[in-house]
Copies of this chain bind each other. A is one copy, B any other.
């Protein structure tokens, strides 16, 4: 039986890869930015908007959907695709990350993690078996294993024990997973410790998954530390499987992880920034609350082809943002997701053309302006 989700690499440039990810709900060109639809909606956008943008994979959060509206209801509605109206590829996380980052109290044991709901304080427990079943109910194209993303400042001993427990959870997830048209991805942890990262990678690959994620990075460490750690892991990941870097969404960081061979990444940053009135543009991040945009009748990003950039002025968008108008959130979100999607398309072109290094350096230098990136690509 062939895997439900596969990647075909069509070009390599250094470590960077351009490919096609095939899923039960369609193919996606990689590298690809996955917009986050936490609660079965990419905030403010319809599936039609996402299609127009050319978005590839939409991410859903198991933690939130399990609690609200309930994965049983989503399953009854025909799964997350039918429920939300997005018929393209989807990925759900295991919910573990939200348990560790959102829950006021939580208790980890060999069996899983007990936590209180951020909504109403009710007590729940995620086990490997439960998050696997919940993700099967949600029915995304890709499900993730339950893992622990250890707290900032955890020591080597903690990381070692945590990654071994995560590997045992991953094994149980694989055993519990029975949905044939859904892929299951493993997750490599190990903090910033190179030997622990190697151990986690070996354990995870030994179990065998349809794809591999790198977790526990972009969580507060320096960019240099993040990239050094990724450099340890990425070259050892099975080259024939998709590679997913969890939780990176700043344009520079994305170009940097693409350079190291990552195919997929997600982050709430572009959509969250939008709701705070910040737009990503070829010349850097613009805060539309800034006084200089009040009377600026130019286009938001003159090089962008999205609806927000072609139909409105900066002054109009700045007015909407200042007045906290829903349309402002909607249009800036549309723009930021378009921007990230378009950035990935350009990166892909540069990889295919064998000029990724040159192109990404020039892109970053223009985006950062006077600033100096943590390190060149």
Contacts and interface: CB of A to CB of B under 8 A. Distances in A.
Given A46-B307, A297-B76, A84 B326 contact: no
A323 interface: yes
A220 interface: no
Interface string A289-332: 00000110100000000010001110110111011011101110
Interface residues of A, number: 37
A373 interface: no
Contacts of A312: 85
Contacts of A322: 68-69
A52 to B, nearest CB: 11
A73 interface: yes
A223 interface: no
A40 interface: yes
A69 B320 CA distance: 9
Contact of A73 (B307, B315, B329): B315
A73 B318 CA distance: 12
Contacts of A295: 73, 76
Q: How many copies does the complex hold?
A: 2
A68 B326 contact: no
B39 A319 contact: yes
B45 A85 contact: no
A77 B39 CA distance: 38
Contact of A313 (B83, B313, B326): B83
A120 B325 CA distance: 18
A112 to B, nearest CB: 26
A349 interface: no
A45 B83 contact: no
Contact of A77 (B48, B68, B297, B329): B297
B326 A330 contact: yes
A85 B43 CA distance: 23
A44 interface: yes
Nearest to A297: B77
A41 interface: yes
Contacts of A318: 69
A312 B315 CA distance: 34
Interface of A: 39-41, 43-48, 68-69, 73, 76-77, 83-85, 294-295, 297, 307, 311-313, 315-316, 318-320, 322-323, 325-327, 329-331
